[in-house]
Amino acid sequence: MAKGGQTPTDPASPEMRAAWKRMEAGDVAGARREARRILEASPSPEDRSQAEELLRRTRTPPAVYGFAVLVLAILALLVALALSRY
């Protein structure tokens, strides 16, 4: 769940305000969807920068994917070792 106080002090438009409000409420997927919709609608420069900022803040860090691959490799190794024993 998102922590309070992450919304910029002056969201550029009501649409961006709604997107930031969704993010603060914990609906990250909905906030990302709203930000993408705003970017597709040829927004003002302020809306564009805030939508890009919201998307940047809610992106999954690439290190998480690397860690997941490492965990799967270790799990596969353990399963292979267990199967080879029997």
Instruction: For 28-74, write each residue's pLDDT tens digit.
Output: 999 999 999 999 988 888 889 999 999 999 999 999 999 999 999 99
- Within-domain flag for 42: yes
Check residue 77 and give its pLDDT.
97
Please state, in angstroms and as integers, the Cα–Cα distance from residue 37 to each residue in 30, 43, 56, 65, following that order. Answer: 10, 10, 15, 26
Please state, in angstroms and as integers, the Cα–Cα distance from residue 31 to each residue in 18, 71, 84, following that order. Answer: 8, 30, 48
Residues found in the chain = 86
Confidence class for position 81, pLDDT limits 50, 70, 90: very high
Check residue 13 and give its pLDDT.
84
Taken in order 28, 1, 56, 50, the sign of the CA dihedral is: positive
- Within-domain flag for 4: no
**Domain count along the chain:** 1
State the residue range of the domain holding 22. 14-85
- pTM: predicted TM-score of the whole model, two decimal places: 0.67
Confidence class for position 5, pLDDT limits 50, 70, 90: low
